[in-house]
Structure 1
Amino acid sequence: MTGYADDIALAHQLADAADAISSARFRALDLRVEAKPDLTPVSDADTAVEREIRALLADRRPGDGLLGEEYGEQPAAGPGGRRWVVDPIDGTKNFVRGVPVWATLIALLEGDRPVVGLVSAPALGRRWWGALGEGAYAGPDAASGTPIRVSAVGDLADASFCYSSLSGWEEAGRLDAMLQLMRDTWRSRAYGDFYGYMLLAEGALDVMVEPELSLWDVAALVPVVTEAGGVFTDLSGRGVPAGDGSGEHSAVASNGLLHADILARLGRPTAR
């Protein structure tokens, strides 16, 4: 194996373990759900998945660092600045309501650059993955993946435009620009969370935007989108994650052909 093949193989093994836990708890009558300090929900599946991934990485990559949504940062013990970033269940609100659009997100960063990303959505029977210089793929499992590619739509009037929710854009002072984009595109839908980015990578839609994300929400998405031929930046046009990779991030992902137009429309907040 060369390049990141070993890392991709490990990411699939981590996803297999995560899927076994989360699938068993999905729609379980005894699912336990609590509110975190920021009032977002966390289920017993979120915490169980992250604990299992942490245990597996401690055994197989003890020198690598790890950042997880539920249990925080574990610094790297070895050289090279490699760390895994994990969102055990992206789309917890969907998960706890029985909506099948949720996934485990697994990324490997070198410094602040995501070089491997895997998104596993077992309730949808689908998985997406990509690694720097090695392309992007989708399929039910590692053995059945096929290459994916972004669309060739070059006109905003022909584009399928995806977003998370309008409330975040209102808080960011960009609601007017968002509404105008929705009027100017062929179609707009709020699929939310990881799913819009993966549909973009497959060429099923053309733009996906979000005003605020944590590193664990976004790190795994970047290699999939970019290796599928897309462009992934924040609202200022910088790569995501920007700077040292800490804090909150905005996200603009596109097929590349529409990127400059989207940034010009959304990049500057308006007065409320």
Structure 2
Amino acid sequence: MIRQAAEGAGRIALSYFRQAPQVWMKTGNSPVTEADLAADKYLKDMLLTARPDYGWISEETQDERAASPRERFFVVDPIDGTRAFIEGADVWCVSVAVIEDGRPVAGVLDCPARSEIIMATPGGGATQNGAAIHVQAQHLPYKVAGPSAFIKRLPEHFLSSIEHMPYVASLAYRIAMVARGDIAGTFVRPSSHDWDLAAADLILSEAGGRVVAADGKPLTYGLTDTSNGDYRHGALVAASGLLMDNMLDVVAETAFG
């Protein structure tokens, strides 16, 4: 069901792509386009009609999780990588996940401008267009992505072991790149949200990697009891194996803000 929903939203978003869609700026100087809103409406109508007992968490919808706690939530970003979408770059995707008890139990990234559908279920592995994907064996220099301002502050012993890859605005897609072995790992700056991460987290986990907080613990999604209503995540690392350990070490010794 969520694959069909993501594909439908992807077709809607693609119909606006490179067509100069209307753009507005949200609080925090984050852009939203008419394509985001159209895809979000489609997803909400389709998914909640099918599962009216599920909660709803989306970048483009008022957050009501504290007022309406549920056992399961749909977690949606109708266009992850809106800035790239506006610029006409093809690295953006529709991200749809189902979370239960704080963890994703289904995840789909539909990337229509690249004709890619990346998805996973727990224990079912991760796939792209039906073919299994996995993290890759790591060789020096490790291909690592992340915000340039942070990468430049990393200790020299770590910088000498990596190749800094070009930045990809879509966080979900960047994590999927780790899952299929395009890159070995990525740093994630603080302030990411559930909708940026939930689907990609499951995809990477099923591909043999992990997304973890700076303390090495897995993420919890759909929180409803934060003291200040701030559901954003802190600094994160997405990788596998020894590189994961090394990245966590440098996050611990580097001010990541």
**Shorter-chain TM-score: what band?**
0.7 to 0.9
In 1: Cα distance, 2:100 partner to 2:14 partner: 30
CA deviation vs aligned residue, 1:143-191 (integer Å, no higher than 9, x gap): xx111110121x5x3311111x224x3xxxx852277644321453323
State yes or no: 1:14 paired with 2:5.
Answer: yes
Aligned counterpart in structure 2 of residue 119 of structure 1, from 93, 104, 109: 109
**1:142-161 matches, cutoff 5 A:** 145-153=130-138, 157-161=140-144
In 2: Cα distance, 1:20 partner to 1:69 partner: 19
Query: Does structure 1 conserve the Cα–Cα contact (< 8 Å) formed by 2:99 and 2:221?
Result: no
Specify every segment of 5 or more residues in structure 2 that has no aligned partner in the other structure, as ranges: 225-230
Which stretch of structure 1 is more off in the superposition, 13-22 or 253-262? 253-262
For residue 206 of structure 1, report the CA deviation from its aligned partner.
0.7
For residue 133 of structure 1, report the CA deviation from its aligned partner.
1.2
2:227 is matched with which residue? none
For residue 204 of structure 1, report the CA deviation from its aligned partner.
1.9
CA deviation vs aligned residue, 1:7-37 (integer Å, no higher than 9, x gap): xxx11111121011101000114x1100001
TM, length-normalised to structure 1: 0.83
Which residue identity lines up with residue 144 of structure 2 in the other structure?
F
**1:1-272 matches, cutoff 5 A:** 10-29=1-20, 31-75=21-65, 81-139=71-129, 145-153=130-138, 157-163=140-146, 165-167=147-149, 169=150, 175-177=152-154, 181-193=158-170, 194-212=172-190, 213-241=192-220, 244=223, 246-270=231-255
For residue 226 of structure 1, report the CA deviation from its aligned partner.
0.4
For residue 217 of structure 1, report the CA deviation from its aligned partner.
0.6
For residue 263 of structure 1, report the CA deviation from its aligned partner.
0.4
1:7 is matched with which residue? none
Query: Does structure 2 conserve the Cα–Cα contact (< 8 Å) formed by 1:103 and 1:119?
Result: yes
CA deviation vs aligned residue, 1:208-227 (integer Å, no higher than 9, x gap): 11112111111111110000
Change beyond 3 A, Cα 1:178–1:48: farther
In 2: Cα distance, 1:92 partner to 1:250 partner: 21
Specify every segment of 5 or more residues in structure 1 that has no aligned partner in the other structure, as ranges: 1-9, 140-144
Change beyond 3 A, Cα 1:69–1:186: closer
Once the two structures are aligned, what percentage of the paired residues are identical?
28
TM, length-normalised to structure 2: 0.88
SS of the residue aligned with 1:14?
helix
In 1: Cα distance, 2:68 partner to 2:184 partner: 40
Query: Does structure 2 conserve the Cα–Cα contact (< 8 Å) formed by 1:65 and 1:76?
Result: no
Change beyond 3 A, Cα 1:121–1:151: same
Query: Does structure 2 conserve the Cα–Cα contact (< 8 Å) formed by 1:64 and 1:78?
Result: no
In 2: Cα distance, 1:260 partner to 1:190 partner: 22
For residue 73 of structure 1, report the CA deviation from its aligned partner.
3.1
Quote the RMSD (CA, aligned, Å).
2.6
Query: Does structure 1 conserve the Cα–Cα contact (< 8 Å) formed by 2:135 and 2:180?
Result: yes
Q: How many residues align?
A: 249
For residue 202 of structure 1, report the CA deviation from its aligned partner.
0.7
For residue 250 of structure 1, report the CA deviation from its aligned partner.
2.6
For residue 132 of structure 1, report the CA deviation from its aligned partner.
1.1
Change beyond 3 A, Cα 1:13–1:271: closer
In 2: Cα distance, 1:214 partner to 1:54 partner: 18
Which stretch of structure 1 is more off in the superposition, 17-26 or 235-244? 235-244
